[in-house]
């Protein structure tokens, strides 16, 4: 068996999409499972749609996700470098290579020059649509002699090169997810292989590159399935061995529609920015269209590599369920050390102006206690802000009428007076006092259970529910507790 070689070959026309990350992940898992090589190739032949920093974003996103590749494009000191024996790995640097093979197709009669204008092509397609036909090129230039075509090129006419498909020819190939597929060439267009700007189309470049880079398995999205017969035919006319094809199901939203920006987060950066952990996102994304035999749901990268196979990839589109992602990611947050989660939380607290960098450095123990208070309830790291912001404003606002009504119950004033008396005798609220204060209040007032804890929580936080109350007391400290009591008494209890 050949050494396994797979590739992820995105176009730098935008930031890496979550569906693209899954394609890269499946390529990576398959390569590592089979002791193969994983290559990153950049397909930038559509020069009109390039986004300036998309390539750097792509590389950074793969590195963040822990998806390591063996050959391709890397960034060192802010500059793109290429490593590997089959480069260049950027298609715009391979134009001479493609031109050589395009010329070979023309000379062998499997390709031809086409001089049709955009206006003519549009008119042909419009007419076909009116007749209820599938719009495709009508072969107008197929019969031009090579001599006539070269004369027109010499005279300065603009042209493209098309693939000359045979009539009524069945193209067979096997897909590891979808099984045996047969498509007749009468249902396929004479695809453009070389554009008028001298750049190849995807269909030409992908076949040449995959062959020259010795790719054994082409793993890509199912949107490329209709194009595969053209690629298979190119392999046949060149006399090259075909790779194995794997077309992955589309990543869909809950409405079973393709993920799009209109319906929420779709780029890897969106999830990074919200504080999803790479371990959580990668673990969940692997399960969107694939499942291990034991149906285990929490899997490290090493476990994913060990269990992954294309036989377990579904034909149906994978549903991207954010609630399930939150559950998986929350698991990793709870598994990680408090120190690591605090490091991840601090930038969000700083950005929200709850603390600054100097405070975080000088009061590390307090910040760790703050994060520890909500760590168990976090689904992603940016959520820490909404979970703890009540700790930073002593002007308590009631979350709803029920909270305000509870606050105004008959025992609240006695509870708050007892709390003030306890605090008057101490310099600060240490961890011991925070854990015994409520018992002391119960002893002083005779109020206990929910009648004690609920009004006290509402008085100091404005909410009926929240983090462990002893942690709140410790983190607030003496002066903040007294300030909150004073504010609540003046606004709600006078």
Residues with a catalytic annotation lie at: 261
Q: Which helix (H) or strand (E) holds 397?
A: none
Bridge partner list, 163? 111
Closest Cα to residue 382, out of 273, 475, 244?
A: 273
In terms of Cα–Cα distance, which of 382, 371, 380, 374 is closest to 347? 382
φ/ψ (deg, to 5) at 388: -115, -5
DSSP class per residue in 251-299: EE-TTSSB--GGGS--BHHHHHHTT--HHHHHHHHHTSSB--TT-----
Contact 420, 432 (CB under 8 A): no
Residues with Cβ within 8 Å of 234's Cβ and at least 6 positions away in sequence, in order, are: 163, 203, 204, 207
CA–CA separation, 38 vs 215, rounded Å?
A: 9
Contact present, 66 and 36 (Cβ < 8 Å): no
* Distance, CA of 227 to chain centre: 25
| Tokens representing residue 162 in the block | 């098309």
Residue keyed to tokens 């306890």? 422
130 burial class (0-12, 13-18, 19+ CB within 10 angstroms)?
exposed
Q: How far is CA 111 from CA 106, 151, 228, in A?
A: 4, 17, 17
């Amino acid at each position: 068996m050949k050494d396994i070689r797979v590739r992820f070959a995105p176009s730098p026309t935008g930031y890496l999409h979550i569906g693209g990350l899954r394609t890269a992940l499946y390529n990576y898992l398959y390569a590592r499972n089979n002791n193969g090589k994983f290559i990153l190739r950049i397909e930038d032949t559509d020069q009109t749609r390039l986004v300036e920093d998309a390539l750097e974003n792509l590389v950074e996103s793969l590195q963040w996700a822990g998806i390591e590749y063996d050959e391709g494009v890397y960034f060192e000191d802010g500059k793109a470098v290429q490593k590997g024996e089959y480069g260049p790995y950027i298609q715009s640097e391979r134009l001479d290579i493609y031109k050589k093979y395009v010329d070979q197709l023309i000379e062998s009669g499997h390709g031809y020059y086409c001089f049709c204008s955009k206006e003519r092509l549009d008119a042909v397609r419009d007419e076909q649509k009116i007749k209820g036909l599938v719009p495709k090129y009508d072969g107008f230039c197929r019969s031009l002699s090579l001599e006539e075509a070269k004369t027109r090129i010499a005279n300065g006419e603009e042209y493209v090169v098309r693939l000359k498909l045979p009539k009524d020819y069945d193209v067979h190939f096997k897909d590891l997810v979808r099984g045996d597929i047969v498509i007749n060439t009468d249902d396929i267009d004479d695809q453009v292989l070389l554009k008028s700007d001298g750049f190849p189309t995807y269909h030409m470049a992908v076949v040449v590159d995959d062959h020259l880079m010795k790719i054994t398995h082409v793993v890509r999205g199912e949107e490329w399935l209709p194009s595969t017969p053209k690629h298979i035919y190119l392999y046949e006319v060149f006399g090259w061995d075909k790779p194995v094809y794997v077309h992955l199901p589309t990543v869909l939203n809950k409405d079973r529609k393709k993920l799009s920006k209109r319906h929420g987060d779709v780029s890897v950066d969106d999830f990074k920015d919200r504080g999803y952990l790479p371990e959580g996102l990668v673990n969940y994304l692997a399960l969107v269209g694939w499942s291990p035999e034991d149906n285990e749901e929490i899997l490290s990268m090493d476990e994913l590599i060990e269990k992954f196979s294309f036989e377990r990839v579904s034909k149906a589109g994978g549903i991207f369920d954010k609630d399930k992602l939150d559950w998986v990611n929350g698991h990793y947050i709870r598994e990680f050390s408090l120190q690591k989660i605090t490091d991840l939380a601090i930038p969000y607290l700083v950005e929200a102006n709850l603390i600054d960098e100097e405070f975080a450095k000088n009061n590390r123990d307090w910040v760790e206690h703050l994060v520890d208070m909500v760590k168990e309830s976090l689904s992603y790291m940016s959520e820490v802000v909404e979970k703890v912001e009540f700790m930073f404003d002593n002007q308590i606002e009631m979350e709803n009428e029920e909270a305000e009504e509870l606050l105004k119950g008959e025992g609240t004033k006695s509870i708050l007076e007892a709390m003030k008396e306890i605090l008057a005798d101490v310099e600060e609220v240490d961890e011991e006092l925070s854990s015994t204060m409520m018992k002391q209040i119960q002893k002083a007032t005779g109020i206990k259970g929910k009648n004690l804890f609920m009004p006290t929580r509402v008085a100091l936080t404005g909410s009926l529910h929240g983090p462990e109350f002893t942690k709140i007391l410790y983190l607030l400290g003496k002066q903040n507790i007294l300030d909150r009591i004073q504010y609540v008494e003046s606004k709600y209890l006078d």
